[in-house]
Amino acid sequence: MSGWDASADAWIAVIGESGDFGRVHVLDAPMLALVDHHAPARVLDVGCGEGRFCRMLTARGISTVGIDPTAALISRAQALHADGDYRVAHAEAMAAEPSGFDMAICYLSLIDMADLSAALAQIVAAIAPGGHLLIANLTSFNTAAVHVGWLKPLDAEPSFPIDHYFRERPLRTRWSGIDIINHHRPLKIYMQALIGHGLILTHFDEPEATGGPADKRDRYNRVPNFHIMVWRKPL
């Protein structure tokens, strides 16, 4: 089990309505800038959770469908956005309209998908020819971490050790009452899978934190926590 059903309440408490540090101070601005650049009319948010990014897209006048396998998170999304279109579904088996979306978005959700190839097959099928897949993901350096975050020994400088980078594996991750399974994959696994599904890379970035408390911003900027990619589906 992924742990998301049992962790839904803790997740909602941590994220709130505005988001956590990584979303608010690292990812939101570049993600929204890329959405604005491509100007999609209809977006599929895969792994939408409690619907925070869907609400941000709707505020821009974009028609958005959010899917997530955790019923409690979809219920929260619907409660916060009564007119929104939210559906309980796993990415690997979702029933989204074929070629029905100008853009699909995976905002820190690929790491939750146990079968990456099956999920990408469904996601790519939902994107119209010429449309785009926008991804924000934890870097593979981050998911290969030996500990969650920094190691702070008593008599040495803090460090961020990683190990077994090339070995794909599920990872049990715990923080703030959340206890879930993520999946570590080396970057090449993501890149090869996306290329294998016929997509063309058009943008890659490793965004830095630009706001929030200075000490936390420094920690985020010393280790590459996230990357952002845009892939285009050929005509």
Mean pLDDT of the 199-228 span: 94
pLDDT value at position 153? 80
- Which H, E and C letters describe the chain, residue by residue? CCCHHHHHHHHHHHHCCCCCHHHHHHHHHHHHHHHHHHCCCEEEEECCCCCHHHHHHHCCCCEEEEEECCHHHHHHHHHHCCCCEEEECCHHHCCCCCCCEEEEEEECCHHHCCCHHHHHHHHHHHEEEEEEEEEEEECHHHHCECCCCCECCCCCCCECCECCCCCCEEEEEEECCEEEEEEECCHHHHHHHHHHCCCEEEEEECCCCCCCCHHHHHHHHHCCCEEEEEEECCC
User: In the predicted model, is pLDDT for residue 1 greater than 70?
Assistant: no
The pTM assigned to this predicted structure is: 0.96
- pLDDT tens string 149-158: 888 887 888 8
User: In the predicted model, is pLDDT for residue 167 greater than 70?
Assistant: yes
Percent of the chain residues topping a pLDDT of 70: 100
pLDDT value at position 2? 86
pLDDT value at position 151? 86
> Domains in the chain and their CATH numbers?
4-232 (3.40.50.150)
For the chain, give the mean pLDDT.
Answer: 95
- pLDDT tens string 168-207: 999 999 989 999 999 999 999 999 999 999 999 999 999 9
Mean pLDDT of the 99-118 span: 97
